[in-house]
Amino acid sequence: MTENMERIKADWIAVDWGTSNMRAWAMRSSGTILAEDRSDLGMGKLTPEGFEPALLGVIDAWIDGPTTVVACGMVGSRQGWTEAPYATVPCPALPDGFATAPTKKDGLTVRIIPGIKQDAPADVMRGEETQIAGYLARNPNWDGVICLPGTHTKWVHVSAGEIVSFQTFMTGELFATISTHTVLRHSIPAEGWDEAAFLEGLSDAVARPERIGARLFSLRAEGLVNGMSGDTARARLSGLLIGTELAAAKPYWLGQQIAVIGAGNIARLYVDALATLSAPATQVKADAITIAGLTAAYGRLKG
């Protein structure tokens, strides 16, 4: 919670609104952050009529006169406040077609950044395009591949300022599902780590990704037969899944400049994993890049 919010008067407001929560920043026109706050009222907890009250519950004290809010994420999905149609690759990270959400408060304008889709193979993104736009705003004329790790990790080919193609991997969701809803729930603890086991699983999966099904069950068998610890099993599972992803995504990252956008342990795992494959990557903090992307979108709207 930001202290003394009643003293903050924003020139505009940046919002990152996902399925689980919402983050907002009071901004100067220059891009300086004046204050920030968040709410656990994500898209998944709201009806269309509930978005404006949820937003005002966070930002109302920052508003003094006509105010523009620039938002990204699942707020623009079909189940969100109002749908922001997808732009089709190849396209800029900030394409045309910003949606305007219906509002009742006088002077409040809410603009939502479009998502991006790919027709074949079919794929979609919402929110990641804003992080990509932020990275490109800070690194003009950059060509390469951007990895955005998470529940659904995305690999995005960027060239000449456009998103050319992308691919999504459900690696994070698979880890959560396998470790809590399969026979491996008896072997995988909620916490714990073994770096050597992670690297072993990574190397195994990159070399023989087609054997992933057998390697997964061996985690259970190793615990029963050889007493493998939970820490080792958890790290090896992570290595196996990320290794299988990297093997499949190799046409994206091989020989390319690579940026990994994300904070914390999961982004570090991808950077370390790529390093073992002689593919150095730069890690970039997600929050800062998201704000940079929202700032670029605001500048686009201001013309």
The pLDDT value recorded for residue 10 is 96
CA-to-CA distance for 229 and 190, rounded, in angstroms? Answer: 13
All CATH 3.30.420.310 domain ranges in the chain, comma separated: 127-289
Condensed to tens digits (0 to 9), the pLDDT of residues 93-146 reads: 999 999 999 999 999 999 999 999 999 999 999 999 999 999 999 999 999 999
Single-letter code of the amino acid located at 159: S
**Can you say whether the dihedral through the CA atoms of 295, 24, 301, 141 is positive or negative?**
positive
pTM: 0.93
CATH code for residues 1-119: 3.30.420.300
Condensed to tens digits (0 to 9), the pLDDT of residues 191-225 reads: 999 999 999 999 999 999 999 999 999 999 999 99
Whether 216 contacts 184, CB under 8 Å: yes
How would you class 160 by CB atoms within 10 Å of its CB: exposed for 0-12, middle for 13-18, buried for 19 or more?
A: exposed
Q: Is 163 helix (H, G, I), strand (E, B) or coil?
A: strand
pLDDT for 3 beyond 70: no
Q: pLDDT grade, residue 1 (50/70/90)?
A: very low
Q: Which CATH superfamily is domain 127-289 in?
A: 2-keto-3-deoxy-galactonokinase, C-terminal domain (3.30.420.310)
All CATH 3.30.420.300 domain ranges in the chain, comma separated: 1-119
